[in-house]
Amino acid sequence: MTYEFWYWNGIPGRGEFVRLALEAGGIPYRECAREPGVQASDLVADMTADRDSPPFAPPYLVAGDMTISQTANILLFLGERHGLAPADLAGRLWINQIQLTIADMVAEAHDVHHPIASGLYYDEQKAEALRRAGDFRGQRMPKFLGYFERVLARRGDWIGGGDRWTYADLSLYHLVDGLLYAFPRRMATLARDYPGVMALHARVGGLPELRAYLASGRRLPWGDGIFRHYRELDAG
């Protein structure tokens, strides 16, 4: 089955967590919103169509007669069906737990530049963003990264343990990649303290399964999405 995958065009966003799993897993999919002639309004029309399990927001995946949304939920599905996570109960729940913790940090990284309202421009909430960025750099980044470091120290090369990546490893790669883009000075300082996390980032970035994708135009560049680089929000 070729899945139909929907996410806003132009930014990696939360859709990229799903794309990495599809690509690394060698799973056929259509990137519907980036096909010729498709507009953002077509995505909205598809998303709000009458169906059993409507999405609240993109990303979502159409798999036959199922529509599956929420990033972690899509990955739970792909992980089970395509062997991108351990098959046993404990392993499956563990990978979902890490994915949800990654999602929490992603939401906080977004709110650094949009602490008041996602519907307002950054310039309309810049004063608040400066305050929130200080807390994120000082408190939240070490707390989350320290947790992932501890996880990898316990589990080894991959979050699930064993000798193969899971979708949570791909997601942690993307999270760290986003942090390196948005907070290069802060990450230069923190990298010393979290060598396991940085090694995971390098390891996933070098996966043969991802080589063609990462070199392709399908891997969208960072920009005005969840992770944004504003010089004034970063500091060592």
Minimum distance from CB of 64 to its own copies (Å)? 10
Of the listed pieces 17-25, 35-43, 93-101, 180-188, which binds its own copies according to CB under 8 A? Answer: 93-101
Cα four-point dihedral sign 99, 104, 105, 106: positive
One residue of 37, 41, 49, 90 binding its own copies per CB under 8 A: 90
Backbone angles phi, psi at 76, to 5 degrees: -60, -45
Determine which residue in the list 40, 44, 45, 100 makes contact with its own copies, applying CB under 8 A. 100
Give the contacts of 208 (CB within 8 A, at least 6 positions apart). Answer: none
Q: Residue 62 or 210: which CB sits closer to its own copies?
A: 62
CB of 210 to its own copies, least distance (A): 26
Is residue 150 involved in binding its own copies (CB under 8 A)?
yes
Peptide bond into 208 cis (omega under 30): no
Q: Where are the beta strands (DSSP E) in the chain?
A: 3-6, 29-31, 60-63, 66-69
Residue 56: count other Cβ atoms within 10 Å of its Cβ.
Answer: 8
Site string for its own copies, 49-78 (x = CB under 8 A): -x-xxxxx--------xx-xxx-xx--xx-
* Span of 5-13, 94-102, 178-186, 222-230 interacting with its own copies by CB under 8 A: 94-102
Exposed e or buried b per residue across 184-199, where buried means at least 16 C-beta atoms within 10 angstroms of its C-beta: eebbeebeeebebbbe
Catalog residues that contact its own copies under the rule CB under 8 A.
50, 52-56, 65-66, 68-70, 72-73, 76-77, 89-90, 93-94, 96-97, 100-101, 104, 107, 111, 115-117, 119-120, 125, 128, 131-132, 135, 139, 144, 147, 150-151, 154
